[in-house]
Structure 1
Amino acid sequence: MAIPNQLPNTEVVLLEVEILLTIIFVGAWGGFVSYFIGKEKAQQSDAHISISNCLKQVVISCFTSFLLSALAIEKGFSFNMVLLAAGLGGVFAAPILKILGDKIKKYIIDASLRE
């Protein structure tokens, strides 16, 4: 499986389905890891709430891993590095989204002050 580079005339990156599913799976696995790391800190007795929190973490981790892997593909990294970015995006989803949110807030505030 090779990740094709961008086409010369467009901004489209074509991904094979296997690559996309692998990225999503690695992100989901990172979400499980992140959930189990955080679960040791906060014990919950209700199984329904625990499963719900786990699924929420997996969805957020898949989103963040997709963002980081898209960035890695854009930078022209190898397939292994794209998977590494997807895994790190899955495990460290909350801090990455917090940093990204802070940068966007700063950009919006700076843009509003210039007007």
Structure 2
Amino acid sequence: MVGASQFRDIIFLDKEILAAVIGISAWGGLVRYIVLRNKAITLKDIPGVICQMIVSCFTGMLLSIFVLSRNAQDDKLLLMAGLGGLFAGPLITLLGKKLAKHIEKEAGPMLLKSEDKNSEI
């Protein structure tokens, strides 16, 4: 069982588990590309497949780090890595919306103050 209570535990993760997380996330990206593609995949589609796999590895790693921080078991970690790879686009969109709301909430009063100062000039 893998557990991570501190950031250094995530950094010093076993190489086999890290490779499995990256591999399963990339596999999820490949599956997503195939599912969303209506036509047969040709050699011209290889750059698109690679880009999708890179984005999927990123989101799979983010989701895996989140699960690791909750002291999940290996099977749950790999499951979330695969799901993070498969649902890369929707997860990034959701994360972007949440981040925008948080920034709006926190920086809103500061922006209003700066607009008031600009209107006085």
Using structure 2 for the length normalisation, give the TM-score: 0.82
Question: Which blocks of at least 5 consecutive residues in structure 2 are unaligned?
Answer: 111-121
Where in structure 1 do 4 or more consecutive aligned residues deviate above 6 Å? none
* Preserved CA contact (<8 Å) 1:64 1:90: yes
1:11, distance to aligned residue in structure 2 (A): 3.6
Percent of aligned positions that are identical = 32
Distance 1:80 1:45 in 2: 31
Aligned to 1:35: 33
Opposite residue 12 of structure 1, the aligned amino acid is R
2:52 to 38, 54, 57: 57
Instruction: Provide the aligned length of Structure 1 versus Structure 2.
Output: 108
> Is there any run of 5+ residues in structure 1 with no aligned partner, and where?
none
Question: C-alpha offsets along residues 42-96 of structure 1, whole Å, 9 cap, x if unaligned?
Answer: x478632x11111100000000000000000001111100001000000000000
Contact 1:4 1:15 in 2 (8 A): no
Residue 77 of structure 1 corresponds to which residue in structure 2?
72
Could you tell me how far apart the structure 2 residues matched to 1:85 and 1:95 are? 14
CA distance in 1 between counterparts of 2:28 and 2:41 reads 23
2:22 match: 24
Look at both structures and tell me which one has the larger radius of gyration over its CA atoms. 2
Tell me which protein shows more helix as a share of its residues: 2
Equivalent residues of 2:63, 2:80 under 8 A apart: yes
